[in-house]
Structure 1
């Protein structure tokens, strides 16, 4: 587990927690690690969740399926990031989405009860951990509101430009890489893949963007 401390230091739940204290926390929380193959489900919709997950290596997608079985990608979770915290801390602990490994992945699991309940050793860093957890949940809500902003746009073009502009702002560069292929991006934005591909070509031909696979460049800037 010590091999992953540098990754965990990048995780918001461990913000401002010293290296040695993270090691103590993992012991205090009885952290456990599991491996998942690409395509394997980490959690399924309807699961009773009492543990949040942290991606140590690999990548998982948070996916919601509609009545017809079509997937909508809610979020892309990469190394050092957290998932399932909302379900773990909710009243009934029921997960409303699927969590699927999209690459061979190693996941660290933490029991939510041990996060919010001081241990017998009354570890000083527990207060910091709880404060960080509140921040993590608040940030996740902000992220979901951002996605809601994308899918509430009327047209595929507006959804694309809004998403790409935010990616450019997040990286502070006109050139950036997105974490999705075309099919995944269409699912994430809740648009038809063919229509989205056509809009991308129109935006390119209009001199607004250039792209190659998942590498993009914004040639024009727009107000949000």
Structure 2
């Protein structure tokens, strides 16, 4: 992925992108699938940009239950400044789904006042604020899903949100069905049984990651 393809660096010229590597002291690190990319509890306060591959931000609570907070694809951004406070003290990490390349930079390098008054530095700060707003919207959507009482209601809420984003009743899930169960915080077997019932009632058709909401739903 070219550095400018990330939303953190939108609106920045190719020439400025090269200068930015030095300005932000960016370094690239490679990870294998299933390897921990970043631990939010380690106190590193970094900003990471997924240059290649896919990863998930996952939470493991005190009882050992796993919840997917967000899925990251090429261009995705993560870091403490984009997360809400972990008051429960749960383990929150970024884990590679596939082999990944990640660009890291210290958060204070991004947010501090630039001595050279670089225009690209100002643009990155503006982009960061935009990302924070987008993360807040994503959190609101997650709360909407998890606030539903039944598995069916959670699924229908999530599918409706995805259909609205894609402007179509037919869309691809951003992750596997196992990951979907983690995302809506429910047992995978129970979720699959509910999906089977919903298919029989002609509410929704699911094949792998492909979902079709039936008309009128």
Distance 2:82 2:135 in 1: 12
**Alignment of 1:177 onto 2:172:** yes
Name the Cα RMSD after superposition.
2.1
Distance 1:202 1:88 in 2: 36
Deviation at 1:209, TM superposition (A): 1.3
Q: Which structure 1 segments of 5+ residues have no match?
A: none
**Alignment of 1:220 onto 2:180:** no
**Residue equivalent to 1:161:** 156
**Alignment of 1:140 onto 2:128:** no
Deviation at 1:89, TM superposition (A): 10
**Residue equivalent to 1:21:** 16
Corresponding residue to 1:210 among 192, 205, 211: 205
| Equivalent runs, 1:1-224 vs 2, <5 Å | 4-5=1-2, 8-86=3-81, 97-222=92-217
Change (3 A) 1:35 1:41: same
Asked whether the equivalents of residues 52 and 109 of structure 1 are also in contact (C-alpha less than 8 Å), the reply is: yes
Cα deviation, 1:1-59, whole Å, max 9, x if unaligned, reads xxx42xx3232211222222222212211111100000100123521132111111111
Distance 1:163 1:89 in 2: 21
Q: State the TM-score, normalized to the length of structure 1.
A: 0.88
Asked whether the equivalents of residues 87 and 95 of structure 1 are also in contact (C-alpha less than 8 Å), the reply is: no
Deviation at 1:207, TM superposition (A): 1.3
Q: Secondary structure of the equivalent of 1:97?
A: strand
Aligned length: 214
Q: State the TM-score, normalized to the length of structure 2.
A: 0.90
Distance 2:144 2:179 in 1: 18
Q: Which structure 2 segments of 5+ residues have no match?
A: none
